[in-house]
Structure formats: C-alpha cells, structure tokens
Structure 1
Amino acid sequence: MPTPGLTLTLPAEADTLRLGRILAETAPPSAVLLLAGALGSGKTSLVRGLTLALPGGDRAEIASPSFTLYNLYPTSPPVAHFDLYRLGAGRPDAEYFEWLDEIEAGRPALLALEWPERLGQDDLPGDYLLARLTMAPPGRAAALTAHGPTARRWLERVEEENRGETF
C-alpha cells in the first residue's frame, strides 16, 4: 500500500534539477525511482539532477533513452536509466530484470524508470518511490509516493531535507 506522499511545485527546470539532487543525496544505496508523466513533464530532467549529484555524475552523458531503452551512467552507485515509452504492450528487455534483481539483492545501484505504466503489474518492483510529474504553469509539479519500506524511508529523508524550503 502506498504511503501518502509529498507534492512539490517546481517553477523552473533548476527546481526539477534540485529535486533530483535531493533525491540523490537521500537515496538508499539500492533503490528504484519510477517516473510517470506526460511527454515534456520533466522526467529526464529529474534523472539528470539525480545523476549529476552523484560521484561520477560529471562524466555521465545524460539523455532520454527512448530509442535505446536504457542508459547506464558511470556514477557511484551506478544509475540505470530506463525509458519504456516505445515499449508498447511488450515486456522490458532482460536488462531491466537483471538490474531489478541486483537492487533487490541489496547491491548498490539506482534504477530510474520512465513510463512505468507500460509495465504489467507482475513486472513492477516490490519497493519503489514514484515521482508523478505534471505541468503546473509556470513550471511543473512533482508528487512523490512511497511504495514499500525502503521507499518510505527515502521519502521521509526527502521531506526532512526539504523541510522549510520552497522550490
């Protein structure tokens, strides 16, 4: 059952990047971040902010993996960035399940997955933080919801980090 979440207004792209940085700074060593939202809602920008905040992020060429299905960024921990937009009704490639197995085994890694609604219920991870991004003129809004105990602790750390600050 999801934990009631946190909704943030992100007036500019810099605010989306800042939220990504906060997510990186508060992330557990092994975690899954699902990113839902329309085209152009800021999913890849959020992953960019997260990745750039990690050690090695300055070496990452961060881009939407719409055509390649996933990108692996040389960060510590590594970030596997999946985009299922073009998946249609199929199942993700084996790489998705391999990364999910690594995370569920507790190996340090972050899996960021765009378009999770393309997954079947059986293919969703058991524990994840969902970031639902929407357009909220003049910028965007991000609604974060925890699904599982690891994600719940992650969300609590995000709330503590953001306490008293506005975007």
Structure 2
Amino acid sequence: MSQDGVRASGIFDLIKIGFVPLQRAHNIKYLASGAAADIWKVQSLESHNNFPSLYVSKVLRISPSGFKDIPTYVGSANQRSPADSPQVAGNERFSWEAFVNMYTHKVSQWALLRHENIIRVYSNTQSLNLHVDFCLNGTVRDALQTPGGRMMNKWDIVEWD
C-alpha cells in the first residue's frame, strides 16, 4: 500500500482515504467557504495527471469520524428505514465506505462529461478533494448580477437554438 491511501490496484483504502490538504501546487489562494467545503484556486507549476495548471479544488470538511454519530438509515428521504431493520442488506448501510463509494462513482461519472458549457471535473484517485475547471469570468451568480445590482432571471442567460 502506498502512503497516499491508494492501493497499487487503484482501489481506495477506505480507512486512509479522505479530503486532504492541497499539495504540489505553486500558488494556492483561498476563495470561499460553503456549508461543507472550502474552495481554493490552485496554480501548479505544470500540468500533471490530466490536471490543468490552473483549477479549483473543493476540500470538503468530512471524515470517517463524522459518520459515527449519524443514525444509520437507508432509502429515500420519504421512505427511511432503520439500518438494523431485517429488510436492510449489509451493503446498503449508511457508512463512510458507502459514502466514499457513492462519491467516487459520481465524480468519475462527472469526469467523463465533455461539453463546452459544462465545467470539467478532473478525476482524482489520491484523495476525495473535488478538482474542477477554474472559471475566469466568475460564477453564474456573477453573470446574473445586473450593473444596477439586481439579479436577472437565470433563464435569461440561456441561448436557445
């Protein structure tokens, strides 16, 4: 097993994998914090592992220890069953392992998308940090802001063919 928490076969070591501090970057600038993540602009000296030299890293503030006090439920928000119910299969339990598997699956699906109007996600097997394209012209919220400080309707910026 390598020290970065990933086995040689590429399968995550779920005990060690997590959201890690940013490394191997020339210039890192804090941009914002949300409810669950810190957002960083990362400027690397060179592109590596299919990453561009400029990207955004979203570092979620979550760890395996955060799952210990959460009641274990499965199913949708409308149909929740206690995990100790006889109807619940072991692989459906809400756990760190289930979270990592779901998260990495979703990120790998998103990383496959290629379109000029979709922010690119860069797959990362070294950590659970989310790395995406840096948008030079700001956010959608910035684009919706009028010079007078009013917010436009989001559908007004969509170009229809």
TM-score of the alignment, normalized to the shorter chain, above 0.5: no
Higher helix share: 1
When the two structures are superposed, what TM-score results if normalisation uses the length of structure 2?
0.23
Higher strand share: 1
Higher relative contact order (CA 8 A, sep 6+): 1
**Max radius of gyration: which structure?**
2
When the two structures are superposed, what TM-score results if normalisation uses the length of structure 1?
0.23
